[in-house]
Amino acid sequence: MTIGILEGMGIASGAAERFKELQRLSPGVTIRLERGDLKHIWREFEAGRYDLIVTSELRQFPRAVPPSCVRHVADTCPGVAAINRENPLAGYSALTLSMLREESFVSLSRSYSPEGYAILREACRQAGFEPRVTQEASTFETLILYVEMGVGAAILGENNRLAIDSNIRLIPLKDIRFDTVVYWRAGPLSPAVRTIISLL
């Protein structure tokens, strides 16, 4: 069994315990975990090489679910503005998206994540402004590098792996929520997949 997990996502509280419980309840089943970008995990899932995938979606813009799969929201978390610690907004304890209207943004590129790029633009439009995207990153790590260097702000889910980066400040966004979403194929399920679903 293989589970694809979106790169950059943090591990939710209690996930390690649920993983150990899954291993205990599914003796003899080898469980592989792999991280990848959104295109990769969906491609592998649709090709049948992943049994489940775990991804993050902006609540206001859920992904259209193909009829061949099931979508389950496993968790929700606030969105955050990831900004360089030298940015004047770094002193705020919380922000709204509209408070970022004068900021430059960095985003995953249109070729890397067309959905993510379009969603950033639409969320900003709904907040009353057109985002000024000054850099498009080809990978999540490059996106973070741009934030570290002060090139622009990025909008992420709080459930990410950046909390330990001393150059970046993550500030909660009061008007943005992200869902942790698990997808599996519709139809008959293997015992191991049924066990995972029961632990969600």
Inform me whether the pLDDT recorded for 9 exceeds 90: no
Same domain, 136 and 150: yes
pLDDT in the model for residue 163: 58
Q: How confident is the model at residue 89 (pLDDT cuts 50, 70, 90)?
A: very high
Same domain, 187 and 158: no
Same domain, 94 and 169: yes
Inform me whether the pLDDT recorded for 12 exceeds 80: no
Same domain, 86 and 170: yes
pLDDT in the model for residue 56: 87
Same domain, 104 and 135: yes
Sign, Cα dihedral of 119, 5, 74, 50: positive
How, if at all, do strands 69-84 and 52-58 pair? unpaired
Inform me whether the pLDDT recorded for 4 exceeds 70: yes
Mean pLDDT of all residues in 26-52: 89
Select from 146, 144, 125, 124 the least CA-distant residue to 135.
146
Same domain, 21 and 59: yes
Same domain, 172 and 87: yes
Same domain, 195 and 172: no
Give CA–CA dist 44/21, Å, rounded: 25
The per-residue b/e assignment along 41-69, b for 16 or more CB within 10 angstroms, e otherwise, is bbebbeeeebbbbbbbbbeeeebeeeeeb
Q: Residue 14 has what DSSP assignment? A: T
CATH number at residue 30: 3.40.190.10
Same domain, 38 and 99: no
> What are the tokens at 118?
């379009």
Q: Residue 118 has what DSSP assignment? A: H
Same domain, 67 and 108: no
Contacts of 71 (CB under 8 A, 6+ apart): 62, 63, 65, 181, 182, 183
Q: Residue 166 has what DSSP assignment? A: T
Of 34-43, 69-78, 155-164, 177-186, the one with minimum mean pLDDT is 155-164
Q: Residue 80 has what DSSP assignment? A: E
Contact 145, 117 (CB under 8 A): no
Same domain, 172 and 82: yes
Which is more confidently placed, 113 or 42?
A: 42
Please report how the helices 15-25 and 191-199 are oriented relative to each other, as an axis angle in degrees rounded to 10: 150
- Residue 84: domain span: 78-176
State if pTM tops 0.75: yes
pLDDT in the model for residue 161: 64
Inform me whether the pLDDT recorded for 155 exceeds 90: yes
Same domain, 93 and 172: yes
Mean pLDDT of all residues in 41-66: 89
The number of distinct structural domains making up the chain is 2
